[in-house]
Amino acid sequence: MLRGVTFEKFRRLCLTLPEAEERETWGEATFRVRDRIFAMGSQDGGYVSVKASLDDQAGLLAMDPKTFAPSAYTGRFGWVQIRLRGIGPELAQRVITNAWKRTAPKRLVAQLSLPLQGEGREGVGSSRLNLQGQKARRR
């Protein structure tokens, strides 16, 4: 399996989401939806951070501790640091989409999550990060 995402690919994945924008803050690129940060990183570094729940953070750390770690300062709130060389594009898209969904207004998330035209499945992602790409069950 080919792994590794460049910062440019990470940036493109972030900016494809509705109303996502990039703004430099603290010397890093921050990705926001309606002024709220859902991801951040530096073009020069090999790591980025994304917003996640504490449960998703624990799952990612258990899945691959060489790629995922709690983010400095914000890890206690669920933020996850990702080593870009260790994550594939599909998982990167799911993690970024989940971070965006945790940050965006509910109405905007609902627009993204509408069933695809002519198909009976959900749009991009579910409300909980699904590490295997299958529909997550709610508890």
Distances in Å between the Cα of 96 and the Cα atoms of 119, 136, 139 are 23, 16, 23
Domain containing 44: what range?
A: 7-113
Q: Per-residue confidence at 18, pLDDT binned at 50, 70, 90? A: very high
* Mean pLDDT value of segment 50-77: 96
Domain count, the chain: 1
pLDDT at 129 exceeding the cut of 70: no
Strand partners, 41: 29, 48
In the predicted model, what is the mean pLDDT of the chain?
85
* Mean pLDDT value of segment 91-103: 96
User: Considering the domain boundaries, does residue 70 fall inside one?
Assistant: yes
User: Considering the domain boundaries, does residue 1 fall inside one?
Assistant: no
CATH number, domain of 97, equals 3.90.1150.30
* Mean pLDDT value of segment 18-46: 95
User: CB of 126 within 8 A of CB of 33?
Assistant: no
User: Considering the domain boundaries, does residue 83 fall inside one?
Assistant: yes
| pLDDT value, residue 130 | 52
Tokens 């993204």 correspond to: 112
- The most distant pair of C-alpha atoms in the chain lies apart, rounded to whole Å, by 44
* Mean pLDDT value of segment 52-64: 97
User: Considering the domain boundaries, does residue 29 fall inside one?
Assistant: yes
User: CB of 48 within 8 A of CB of 41?
Assistant: yes
Better pLDDT: 116 or 59: 59
pLDDT at 124 exceeding the cut of 50: no
User: Considering the domain boundaries, does residue 122 fall inside one?
Assistant: no
> In this structure, what are the phi and psi dihedrals at residue 112, rounded to the nearest 5 degrees?
-70, -30
- Backbone conformation region of residue 78, classed left if phi is above 0, alpha if psi is from -120 to 50, else beta: left
User: Considering the domain boundaries, does residue 133 fall inside one?
Assistant: no
* Mean pLDDT value of segment 81-108: 96
* Mean pLDDT value of segment 63-84: 96
User: Considering the domain boundaries, does residue 125 fall inside one?
Assistant: no
| pLDDT value, residue 116 | 45
| pLDDT value, residue 131 | 54
User: Considering the domain boundaries, does residue 121 fall inside one?
Assistant: no
